[in-house]
Structure 1
Amino acid sequence: MRIGLLTAAPGHPLLAATAALLAEDGHRVAHLAPDQDPPEPAALAEVYLLKARTPAALVLAERLENMGVPVVNSGASTGFCQDRVRMARLAERAGLPFAATTALPDLAALAGRGPVRHPLVVKSRHSRRGDLVARVADDRRLRELADRWPGEPVVVQDLAPGSGWDHKLWVVAGEVFAELRHSELAEGERLPSRSVDELPYGWRELALHVGEVFGLDVYGVDILDVGGVPLIVDVNAFPGIRGQQGAPGALARLAVAVGHGLHRPRTLRPAVTGAGEPMPPPGGAAAPRGTAQ
């Protein structure tokens, strides 16, 4: 079987380990860069793993899907998860415990609301490498970020009273991997990640439900423990999943199952999610209270 990696970084540890396992089993692994055209029909892979989020990568993924080739995750689901407003709205409709999220056209609009009275978290509305994710505790910090990120559409969330540690959960075709990671928003020196021996009751099922809601087979869920209650602060399509024993094997098995037609990749359902709507205007996207620490 030919299995394609749609990515600009085929040497990523997760992909490299997965490709090695597939090659050991006699499968051929082909790299397809996001800025390339689809291969000729005779050279198409039976399945493509989409480990890229650029506009070019999403367009290419959808072209492959239109040619009848399954892509994990779908271009629609991957693109949807890059908009933090639409993510929050869908999570709210699905009843997920997601951080309350308000959209603003830029940080100047936030400054126009008056003094910062309690710590906030501001993030770029559109998730991408090197985007804005910052803690704002006072007006001086807000002005500093506004000067650095002029015109950047943002979302604003309250800072939840967490421990300073995020539960990073990764799911590959129903297999859940996890670790504790010191939050990038926590004050002081960043500490090394910690292993997770056992997840709190119900968190595994919550992580699996996220994949059903967002139409994802390979994804990450960031969860805070807020007084014993889980609070989801982010969902990522096809994250790196570094250092998790068993993750490359799970991904290899998923690719083979999809290639053989034993598993149909998930995708968004526009009638349910509103995925075909125009981008929502700045305003507010209410959801359960809180955000990352």
Structure 2
Amino acid sequence: MRIGLITPEPGHPLLAATSALLAKEHVVDALDPAGTDPAAPMAVAPLADVYLLKSRTERALDLARDLERRGVPVVNTAAATALCQDRTAMAELALRAGLPFAATRTVGALSAWASHTALSSPVVVKSRYSRRGDLVARVDDPARLRELAAAWPQEPVVVQEFAPNSGWDHKLWAIGDQVFAALRRSELSPGGRGPGLPLDAHELPAGWAGLVRAVGAAFALDVYGVDIIDAGGGTPLIVDVNAFPGIRGQSGAPEALAALTLRRAVGGPG
């Protein structure tokens, strides 16, 4: 069987470990769309039996769409991957599905919104389009808002009310039905993010693992991350959903991804 990786980083720890498992009996090829001529069509031959899409660039998504049109399974699909880049669409879908997602307002360019906004309570301002190095910041006062508006004047943003919490994010990941977990200081904490702390999925509050799987069903994702904060008494509040995150340092994750890949290659469920 042939497995394709659509990624600029085939040496990423999760992909490298998964590839090593699969390569014992199968052929694993890596394809970086960014390394091809943008003006030329992307010719892929021979076709793999399944592709893992760990890239969010438009060229990678175009390649994934083309492969899907040719009948090749892609994990995750281009549509599901693209949806998770748009925080407006993400929030709308989550709320329609009845998921406890943070209420999200789309306000347009940051400078325009800041110029006529009077803050009455802390908010979280995020880039509408998720990407590496995007804007995610807590804003408590007009001075901080003006500072961000000066640095990111034309950035399209969404705004969420700040939900008081412990300052720790529950980083939950799923590969198929298997859920992995860790704790990490919120990037909104004064000291910023620190290293993750291990957390057994069985230690999660009741119903949280099922909630993660419900996110996967709603978003049509096979490999994904869900960021949850405890809004009090074990009440979950989802603040972000990511397609094909790193899932670093999680025992059993490469094995779960290898098994999922082979299932999808033969048309099986995630």
TM-score (norm 2): 0.93
- Counterparts in 2 of 1:45 and 1:189: CA distance versus 1, 3 Å: closer
Task: Summarize deviations over 1:110-167 as a string: whole Å, max 9, x none.
Answer: 3233332322110000011111111111112111111111211100011111000000
Alignment RMSD: 1.2
- Indicate yes or no: 2:96 matched with 1:93: yes
**1:33-112 correspondence to structure 2 within 5 Å:** 33-35=32-34, 36=36, 37-40=42-45, 43-112=46-115
Divergent runs of 4+, >6 A:
none
Unaligned runs of 5+ in 1: 266-293
SS of residue paired to 2:131? coil
Task: Summarize deviations over 1:172-206 as a string: whole Å, max 9, x none.
Answer: 01100000010010123644321213110000000
SS of residue paired to 2:171? strand
CA contact (8 A) 1:7 1:32 kept: yes
Tell me the equivalent position of 1:115. Answer: 118
Taking the aligned partners of 2:144 and 2:85, their CA distance within structure 1 comes to 25
- Indicate yes or no: 2:29 matched with 1:30: yes
| Amino acid of the structure 2 residue aligned with 1:250 | A
| Amino acid of the structure 2 residue aligned with 1:97 | P
Deviation at 1:33, TM superposition (A): 1.1
| Amino acid of the structure 1 residue aligned with 2:14 | L
Unaligned runs of 5+ in 2: 37-41
CA contact (8 A) 1:182 1:190 kept: yes
Task: Summarize deviations over 1:213-256 as a string: whole Å, max 9, x none.
Answer: 00000000000101121000000000000000100110000111
CA contact (8 A) 1:38 1:63 kept: no
SS of residue paired to 1:151? coil
**1:126-137 correspondence to structure 2 within 5 Å:** 126-137=129-140
Tell me the equivalent position of 2:179. Answer: 176
- Indicate yes or no: 2:178 matched with 1:200: no
- Counterparts in 2 of 1:65 and 1:50: CA distance versus 1, 3 Å: same
Tell me the equivalent position of 1:151. Answer: 154
CA contact (8 A) 1:34 1:52 kept: no
CA contact (8 A) 1:119 1:136 kept: yes
Taking the aligned partners of 1:77 and 1:97, their CA distance within structure 2 comes to 19
Deviation at 1:107, TM superposition (A): 1.4
Return the match for 1:209 from 211, 214, 226: 214
- Counterparts in 2 of 1:48 and 1:189: CA distance versus 1, 3 Å: closer
Aligned length in residues: 261
CA contact (8 A) 2:111 2:152 kept: no
Taking the aligned partners of 1:70 and 1:129, their CA distance within structure 2 comes to 26
- Indicate yes or no: 2:18 matched with 1:18: yes
Tell me the equivalent position of 1:2. Answer: 2
SS of residue paired to 1:234? strand
Matched-pair identity in %: 62
Taking the aligned partners of 1:116 and 1:45, their CA distance within structure 2 comes to 53
| Amino acid of the structure 2 residue aligned with 1:223 | I
CA contact (8 A) 1:83 1:125 kept: yes
SS of residue paired to 1:85? helix
